Each structure stands twice: as structure tokens, then as C-alpha cells.
Amino acid sequence: MYEYNNNGMNESQNAQYQGSFSTDPQPPKKPKTHKTAKVIALVAAVAVLCGGAGFGGAFLANQTSNLLIGGAPSASESGDSEAESSTSSPSVNSDESSDLHEVLDALQSDVTTHSSTGEIEYNSDGSYAYTRDLVAEVKDSIVYIEVYVSIRGQETLYGAGSGIIISTDGYIITNAHVAENDYYAVTKLTVSINTTDPTDGSSIATKYDAELIGSDTDTDLAVLKIDAEDLHAAKLGDSDTLCLGDDVVAIGNPMGLETSVSKGVVSGLNRQVYDDNTVSAIQTDTAINRGNSGGGLFNMHGEVVGVVNMKLINDNAENLSFAITINDAKSVINDLITKGYVSGRPILGITCLQVSEYIGAIQNMTPGLLVTDIEKDMAIADSELIVGDTIVAINGTPVLTVEEVSEVIKDMKPGDTVTATVVRTDSRGRDKQIDIDIVLSEYSGS
């Protein structure tokens, strides 16, 4: 259950990423070199595209269709069915049919006919009066993303999600969990774009290979680039203008159903779903499913106000969906495009082994962060810290994990100085504790 209380999340919570994962057993996760945030209670939306699911879905759909239309009888049954039909089915003559139509015509006599001018209608504030007009205007800015990975040496379609075109020359934003995954290295990303013919309304899909420009797991945002021109780009709006109860429209590709539309309202603002509060989220009651991740949340002016990235799955909760505010996303997107990483984040600049209290006890080691490497091109290289030291505290706060270090320095800036309390073992095996000043460097995403 997703419950806010004085102690944070309730242990009965049952939330998970709705990732598009293959049925192969998962290998251990790839180690991450930097982590300043932990996503909580997030269920990201990526469609499963394995063959079994696809064929199973097709089979179920066909069976359902047969049930709805009655199905075609087998050869052995057709004769009896026809005989029963001819003897048992009531007949309606032409006079009775005419009487029925007269009754319906009388009942409908006072019902007005709805007429449409075909013109786009707007409200007094300039917003779209009808959702259909908004969707017709923005739907071609939403793309379908397929993710390929290498499994046992073979390139395999691993999952899919959604993305938003933000420039006519091919820049696309999506979620980091769509563009990357924790188990296999992504070998290829493809983007399918629908283009609507203005003359007859037909849609043409074009597939492109995409380049990953940059990805940031802390904010769950990524930028892709395709080699294309004259694309239909979405306009980025101002999420700060949203109010509770505002109508919003989500467009994406849930379960591989391209350009699916769901509508709802803003249920909550400034929701903090990350431990470090680096980004805030918009809570909505729009229907979000696997494959919606990376898609657009639009206001009724047809502007992107959020990037859909999660929903809560819980037996006691419904319609709890979230999107990253576009105002928080803008600076991240700008940094990913210009630098390939998010600027302004501090980092110590070490590689270390996390020694828990338990491991320390059985291995006769000091619990803390055992330094195994020091980045030579970072400011920490000029400090007195050496390989083999064990960092036990930062600015007086005990630390045993990388996450705890990140929590201590999250509000600092590159160039700030911290004091690391270090346990160092001399040549005679004696431990001594010293304090070392370390200047923080900027995390560059590598």
C-alpha cells in the first residue's frame, strides 16, 4: 500500500516498474557509478513485446470477436444449425418491420440532430473546446520507441515505450528507464513516427534509428536524436500554471497500441516521488499503462506540461498516475543536449567498496567506504586521501554506503569542501583516525 506517514512508505506497499522485459532470467544488475536518488513507489510504463504476449493477445482478440459475432459453425454442426434456425427463429414480416420503424421515428421526432462545422472550436481562453481537436493537432508529436539489447550474443527486441518530439530536426525526450535498462546493454533504439496526411487523414509510419544523446537516471529523463527534418514538434508549456482539477490528456503507446489517448484531471501538484526531491511530479487520474512511459501529458492548449513516467500498482489504489513536470525537465533536457549530462551535481571522485557492519565483523575490516581508486582528474586527487583509506563519516555524519554519501552532499555544489573522517591502517597494522578536507567535483555522467 502506498501510504504517507511519519515513517515514510508503509512496508505493505506493492509497487514495481512496469518495464518491458523479456522472459529470460535476469542477470545481476550492472553496477552504477553514481546514484543520488532512489525512485520510490514508481511504476514505469513500458510495453512487453515478446512473441508469446503478442500471439496470445491476437488469439484472445480473435476468440473474443468470434464470441461477439457468434462464430462460424463447424462443418458437422452447420446442417443442424440451419435446420434449427429455420424452424425455431421467429419471423418478422414487412408490415411489422414498418410498424417498428414508425414507432422509432415517433420516439425520435423531438431529438435534435448534432451538426459539426468541421472547424476547430476554442474556448474564450484559447484552449481547445474539444479533445478531438487537441489530439488531432498534437498526436503526430508522440513517437513509438523500441529498445533492442544483446542477449546471448543475439540482438533482441527487449521492450518499448513512448517519446515526445521537441524539435523539427529530430530531438526526442523520453524516460531514462525506456532508453536504458539495468540488466543488458542497449544495442539499438528505433523510433517510429506517424505522419498524418492533411488531405485524407491517412497516417504513414516511418521508422528511424535513434542516437542516445544523454540519459539521467536521477530524474528519469533521456534525450534521443534521429536524422530527420520537418517533424511535427510539440510545444513545451508551463507546468507552474496548472491547477487542481485542470483537464489533461495523455498520449502514448500503452501495450504497443500506438497513439492511444486518455483524459483526466490534475489530481495533485508538487508530488515528491524521489528521495532527494530533485524533481516534482504531477499526479493525475488519467489511464496510464505499460508503454505510456515517455509520452506526453498535455494541457487543453495542446502544450506539454509533463512527461509520463509512472503509476502506482496497488490492490487498494486506482488511477494514481504521475508525470515529471516539464518545468523541472527543461533544465535537464538542455544539459543533456548541450553536455550529455546534468550539470551542477557534486561528486567525491572515488571508487570504493562498501563495507557493512556484518562484513567488517567477519573480515576484520573497518565498516565504511574502502577507497579502491581516486579519480586523478578531479579535485580529490589533490587531497591527502589515499587508496586503502576507509571513509567512515562525511561532515560528521556516519556513512556506510554511496547512497548515504549522496544524501550528505546533495544540497552542495561542485567546489564546496567537505571533511571526510578516515580510518587509515599503517605498516604495522595499527589503525588511526584522521580528518581530510576534500573539494567536491562536478559529476559528468561517466
> Do 333 and 325 meet the contact criterion of CB atoms below 8 Å apart?
no
CA atoms within 13 A on the CB side of 264: 20
Task: Tell me the catalytic residues.
Answer: 177, 220, 293
CA–centroid distance for 214 within its chain: 15
Give the single-character DSSP code of 325: E
Burial of 415 per CB tally in 10 Å (0-12, 13-18, 19+) = exposed
> Do 343 and 401 meet the contact criterion of CB atoms below 8 Å apart?
no
- Beta bridge partner(s), residue 80: none
CA-CA distance, 42 to 45, in Å (whole number)? 10
How many CB atoms within 10 Å of residue 419?
13
When computed from its CA atoms, the radius of gyration of the chain, rounded to whole angstroms, is 29
* Range 52-84 burial, b when 16+ CB lie within 10 A, else e: eeeeeeeeeeeeeeeeeeeeeeeeeeeeeeeee
CA–centroid distance for 246 within its chain: 22
